[in-house]
Amino acid sequence: MADRAQYDATEQAGIRDAFVRGDAPLCPRCHVAMTQRPIGGGSFGLGYARRREWLICPRCRRSAIFDVRRGTRN
């Protein structure tokens, strides 16, 4: 049924954890580095101190989307 493969909640949490720690997130299924894409642009000014991250595995094409609180500046 699920034609569009997704990570389960545990896998997403692991990816997010690695990202927040500053590690390069790996796909929990393929163990390859995931591609990172920032989402957003255009909707700043709403007062959200958050950034939405989109990580995609280049091998299995699963993706994980999560919000990251902006504690630091780049």
Using CB under 5 A, list all residues that contact Zn ion.
27, 29-30, 57, 59-60
* Greatest extent of the chain over all pairs of C-alpha atoms, in Å: 42
Least distance in angstroms from the C-beta of 74 to Zn ion: 27
Q: 35-53 burial string, b = 16+ CB within 10 Å, else e?
A: eeeeeeeeeeeeeeeeeeb
Residues listed for the chain: 74
Least distance in angstroms from the C-beta of 33 to Zn ion: 10
Q: Which is nearer to Zn ion, 59 or 70 (CB)?
A: 59
Least distance in angstroms from the C-beta of 22 to Zn ion: 21
